[in-house]
Structure 1
């Protein structure tokens, strides 16, 4: 067996392997004989059919299997011999002008190799580090959010105003004809929260129970419903219920509803501070990880294997389809062109090449103590933290997420330790509202 390597374009290579026909024929004959011993052919007892007949029936398929097997073996041996780091096999071509009496069979393997990754001097990097503070003010904001989540609505007989929950029937028409999604009965929403278009909410505001009103509104040009975007509709609205909000008082009952058994408000605030601090820490870590990974991607220029980028783009598209399905949407015929995911796919592939080199060169693999610390943080919010820790460590597969988090934390800390870092204070509201 022999092989020659040709560079085609950037990372693309063409490797021509040769396999002796004597080896191919010997392996083919061996398989034919093995097939003849077990095959059943009408008119013959098992294993008694003439070899020529078996060859005429199965010989071509067997020879193709042998050709594929020996060519693949030759390819793998040549890859090892030439020290090639194959990223993806693109195709296998036939070699033209092979003489019928040639001693060897030739096949051309076209593939992409991984690029060489050179991390370079990280001290030249300029990165922004997000920081935040969590204190009494943030605890009080969280308490207000928790109160609003437990809002009760009490029926009133006055006119509807911002903050009220209203229940309405409505029917919309465009050019006198009803349209899809333009009609509903017993539809509840809270005025002033932007759940409906401003003109629609303005039409409901001021109505009392039992009153009706006709309004005209024009849908925005960029409205998500393409069939009605930019068009003017006339809605007939009937209001059947107005209810004003009532927030719970901050007392023992409120604390007990949050899981504080004795209703101690001091204990409640301590628990909220602990939980909010943990969540803020997680979100800040996420922001800083994104910043560092983006900086590494920009810092290390790479020519990427196209096949890997295409494969990642397809994976991201399929992931989005699955998310839509989980949300109850019909994504079977959803067209998600790969171009939508090209930029993200390129970043993912690039980082998939950069990070292993960085981790290996600078020994950034997390140790067991780091992984356990992250698992312990996960477990803090549960009633029996040790039970959660034991569950994670009972199966190494469950430790993948905390292991990856520890690895990312090591990378972030390492880069921050070398780069030129500028701190940016992130407000609590900005941090908690970010997706």
Structure 2
């Protein structure tokens, strides 16, 4: 077998393969025997049709059947001999074969390009590391969030006040007041003084009671366009926060027994979180600097594959709207992200190879456990994410 490799650019290759009949003959004859078992010819039992008869009756079909098998076989052999690893499906062209003749074909495909890392001097990059400093307000806010997560709702009889929640149906209406069919949102919670319920809407909803109908203007989109809605109040409720007592502390942090211990544990988590954010931002700046320095070329097919996996992950996420996903919009939104991540993947791989860096399975598992310990509430999601081999390589 004769193989010629043409380098089209940093990541595109075209191989030309020529296989003489002497190497093909044995394989063709074996394939012909299998072919004969599928043939029903009068006077011959299946599998017992002589070669001459088969060729006379079915030569084009036999050649096509053999080529389909042989192309893949010799393509893979050629890749192995030339130590090539495609990242996409090859475009096979110029296929030429007939019985007792040589076979030739060409195949175009993409590979991961070789990355040449620059020799870096000290202080080659100007990168800042931001250190986040926490205060008591940060601790208070986390404690408040924990209390809100375990809060209960209590009906308000005296009318809505700022900070209360209104359970209501929202009917979109014309300026004339006529309801717009199909534009009704049922049983929506509105916080008085929060989100869209502020400014003039806040004044309109203060004092609201069940069965009241109130006209408000709500912002519809990022452009700030507003529409009129009629709010039909179903109930007015207020949030009741739990006391910070032994029962509450046991629920939110089994390792703490007192409020002081709870606050200390919260502070530790805040410090860990800030340190992690600082390190991630620092590493991001470093990787961006390396990408800019190397500026590697990347195969378009790798970006497409990245986006394919992203679209598939969103579809299987079970999130609202996942079933009717606008794939084109997702691809357009994340195109630049995919390209950046692909560049870093290639640079990172080159750094690992050049410096002969290795990570053991135990070290990977230890890092996963560290992430779980830092985010106990998301332990299952973290475990699920890192079960996928491609995600484990990101550690």
CA displacement at 1:117 relative to structure 2: 0.5
Corresponding position of 1:226: none
- Of 303, 320, 325, which aligns to 1:328? 320
Contact kept? 2:127, 2:282, Cα under 8 Å: no
Contact kept? 1:39, 1:46, Cα under 8 Å: yes
Farther-moved stretch of structure 1 (160-169 vs 98-107): 98-107
Gapped runs of 5+ residues in structure 2? none
Task: Rate the CA distance shift 1:87–1:181 in 2: closer, same or farther, 3 A.
Answer: same
Corresponding position of 1:116: 114
Q: TM-score, normalised by structure 1?
A: 0.72
| Paired residue secondary structure (1:309) | helix
- Of 331, 337, 351, which aligns to 2:344? 351
Corresponding position of 1:298: 292
In 1, Cα distance between the equivalents of 2:70 and 2:97? Answer: 19
Farther-moved stretch of structure 1 (174-183 vs 349-358): 174-183
CA displacement at 1:358 relative to structure 2: 0.7
Farther-moved stretch of structure 1 (39-48 vs 144-153): 39-48
Task: Rate the CA distance shift 1:46–1:263 in 2: closer, same or farther, 3 A.
Answer: same
Q: TM-score, normalised by structure 2?
A: 0.78
Q: 1:249-398 to 2 correspondence within 5 Å?
A: 249-260=243-254, 263-323=257-317, 326-329=318-321, 331-332=323-324, 334-337=326-329, 338-367=331-360, 370-371=363-364, 373-378=366-371, 380=373, 398=387
Task: Rate the CA distance shift 1:80–1:182 in 2: closer, same or farther, 3 A.
Answer: closer
Q: 1:155-166 to 2 correspondence within 5 Å?
A: 155-166=155-166
CA displacement at 1:194 relative to structure 2: 0.2
| Paired residue secondary structure (1:192) | coil
* Structure number with higher relative contact order (C-alpha < 8 Å, ≥ 6 residues apart): 1
CA displacement at 1:380 relative to structure 2: 4.2
Contact kept? 1:304, 1:350, Cα under 8 Å: yes
Gapped runs of 5+ residues in structure 1? 224-228, 408-435
In 2, Cα distance between the equivalents of 1:130 and 1:204? Answer: 43
Corresponding position of 1:203: 204
Contact kept? 2:315, 2:325, Cα under 8 Å: no
Farther-moved stretch of structure 1 (350-359 vs 171-180): 171-180
In 2, Cα distance between the equivalents of 1:20 and 1:127? Answer: 59
Is residue 106 of structure 2 the alignment partner of residue 105 of structure 1? no
Corresponding position of 1:239: 233
Corresponding position of 2:40: 41
